[in-house]
Structure formats: C-alpha cells, structure tokens
Homo-oligomer: A and B are copies of this chain.
Amino acid sequence: MHREPGHDELDFPRPLVCVDVIVFTVMQGVLHVLLARRPSAPGEPFPGAPCLPGGFIDVARDDSLLQCALRKLHDKTGFSSPYLEQLGSWGNAARDPRGWSATHAYFALVPPPDMPVAAARDVEWVPVERAAQMALAFDHSEIFSAALGRLRGKVEYTSLPAFLLNEPFTLPELQHVYEAVLARPLDKSAFRKRMLDAGFLEPAGQVAQTVGRPATGYRVRERERAAIFPRTFRASEAAAD
C-alpha cells in the first residue's frame, strides 16, 4: 500500500476478500477434510459444487483475518480452540467470476468429531484421497492440495498429529495417526524415542485397552504450538515447509 499516486481518495475499486478454512481430522484411521457445498441460487458461481468452508470478510463483524477463520471454524465444527495456522493467500482476477478476489486460507487440525454435528451444519467429512479427485469450486482444489502438502510435509518433522487426537492419547494411537497422514508405516521403537525425546508430551495416567497391556496416556504440554524434531522421519525424502 501506501505510495501509489492517486490512491489517497480511496475511491478506486477494491477486490473481494474471503477467508477459507481447510479442516483436517482423522476418523477410522483415515485422514478427512471438511467440505461444504456451493448454494444453488441463481447468479451464484459454481452452483451445487463442493468447496472449502469459508466466506467473505464481514468488516463490521470480523476484527481480523484470524478471528474470521476461527468464527467460520466454530460455526461449521463447534470447535473453538483448535490448532490453526495460516496457509497462504490466493488472489487474482480470474478465480471468482464475480470479480477480482483474494482469499486467505487457514488450515486447522481437530480431534475426531461426533458425526451428526458435521451433517447438521451442512458440511461433510470427506477422505482426502477422494477430495483430491473432486473438482472443487473456484481454485479450492489447488488450495486444498497445498494444504495437504503442507500437512504431510510438516508431519515429517513436527508434532502436528497430536492435535488430531482427543486427550489423553497413547503413543500407539499417535503413531497410527502419523501413519494415516503419511500413508506409510513407521518403526515403533524409533517413533517412541523421537516423541519422548522431543519433550512435548506429559504423562496423563493409564489408558486401558480392550485387550492386552494398558498404555500410558499422554497430553501435549503446550497446546499453542507444535514441537519440531531435529530430523525428518526419513532424511532421504526431506519435506518442504
């Protein structure tokens, strides 16, 4: 901003501004993403098409982009303090037929929700493999793909999957989530060493299993941010940011 001549009046055309949220969870050992559906009213772009939950900024109601993302997330999922991180922004003249628009994308991780909740709010949990094959409205397929890439990348070297579980959780449970997101098996011994050495977990009692030895329950020490490991899981296939 700030230096263009002729802009002082502020009467030039402004882009549309949106916030979209990519919400991930793991259900039945499979990574899912929350999708909404475009309205079918006349004049609406992409009528009836699946899309990411989101919407226009309401300058009277939203104090900030982050707060807007939190509001939309709460409206759709009922969660109010999930792990939430900015993914990036997409803006150009062509992505929305209604005009030049820019969207700010956030990605969120939530523990497995109760199924009925999602259905009631007119959104749907979709396995990421299926979502990747769907044609989402606007450039939402591209944004979703970026979110999935970012999640898989960061899972290689952070404790992000801990935010996909209800507490307390066990180390075997956490390992299963890692494996679900990365879509490959991990060695149990290496996994446990890594998690415990990182020091982001604190014990929280025993968790009885339906069969076999009970497991130690854990909580994350700081819910605010993820821990970062000194190496990726497999150094040979290092991950982007």
Binds B, one of A48-56, A107-115, A187-195, A201-209: A48-56
The reply to whether A2 and B88 form a contact with Cβ atoms under 8 Å apart is: no
A241 sits at the interface (CB 8 A): yes
The number of residues on chain A lying at the interface, defined by a beta carbon within 8 Å of a beta carbon of chain B, is: 65
A171: which B residues are within 8 A, CB to CB?
Answer: none
Identical copies of this chain, number: 2
The reply to whether A88 and B91 form a contact with Cβ atoms under 8 Å apart is: no
Binds B, one of A3-11, A175-183, A213-221: A3-11
For A15, A86, A99, the residue with the greatest tally of chain B CB atoms inside 10 Å of its CB is: A15
A8: which B residues are within 8 A, CB to CB?
Answer: 41, 43-44
A166 sits at the interface (CB 8 A): no
A135 sits at the interface (CB 8 A): no
Residue positions of A touching B, CB distance < 8 A: 1-4, 7-8, 10, 12-18, 20, 36, 38-39, 41, 43-44, 51, 53-60, 62-65, 86, 88-94, 96, 98-104, 137-138, 154, 157, 228-232, 235-236, 238-241
Q: List 21 A-B contacts (CB under 8 A).
A: A1-B20, A1-B54, A2-B18, A2-B39, A2-B54, A3-B54, A4-B55, A13-B59, A13-B60, A14-B14, A14-B59, A17-B91, A59-B93, A59-B99, A64-B92, A65-B102, A91-B104, A102-B104, A229-B238, A231-B231, A231-B235
